[in-house]
Amino acid sequence: MTLNLFKTSLLFAALLGVSLAQTAELKLAVASNFVQPAKDIAAEFEKVSGHTVSITPGATGKFYAQIVNGAPFDVLLAADDEIPAKLEKEARAVTGTRFTYAIGRLVLWSPKADFVDDGGQVLKSGKFAYLAMANPKVAPYGLAAVQAMQKMGVLSALEPKVVQGENIAQTYQFVVTGNAQLGFVALSQVFQNGKLKSGSGWIVPENLYDAIRQDAILLNAGKASPAAAALLEYLKSEKAKKIIASYGYQL
Phi, psi of 51 (to 5 degrees): -75, 165
pTM attached to this predicted model: 0.81
Between 104 and 24, residue with greater pLDDT:
104
State what percent of residues in the chain have pLDDT above 90: 81
CA atoms within 13 A on the CB side of 31: 33
Domain spanning 3-103+212-246: CATH superfamily: Periplasmic binding protein-like II (3.40.190.10)
Q: What is the pLDDT of residue 12?
A: 52
Q: What mean pLDDT comes out for the span 15-25?
A: 59
Among residues 141, 54, 130, which one has the least CA distance to residue 106? 141
Q: Where are the domains of the chain?
A: 3-103+212-246, 106-203
Burial bucket for residue 224 (CB in 10 Å: 0-12, 13-18, 19+): exposed
The predicted-structure confidence for 98-119, as pLDDT tens digits, reads as follows 999 999 999 999 999 999 999 9
Q: What is the pLDDT of residue 24?
A: 83
Cα 70 vs. chain centroid, distance in angstroms?
22
Q: What is the CATH number of domain 106-203?
A: 3.40.190.10
Given a cut of 80, is residue 212 above it in pLDDT? Answer: yes
Q: What is the pLDDT of residue 8?
A: 45
The answer to whether 3-103+212-246 and 106-203 have equal CATH topology is yes
Among residues 125, 115, 200, 111, which one has the least CA distance to residue 158? 125
Among residues 69, 66, 75, which one has the least CA distance to residue 24? 75
Q: How many CB atoms lie within 10 A of CB 154?
A: 16
199: left (phi over 0), alpha (psi -120 to 50) or beta: left
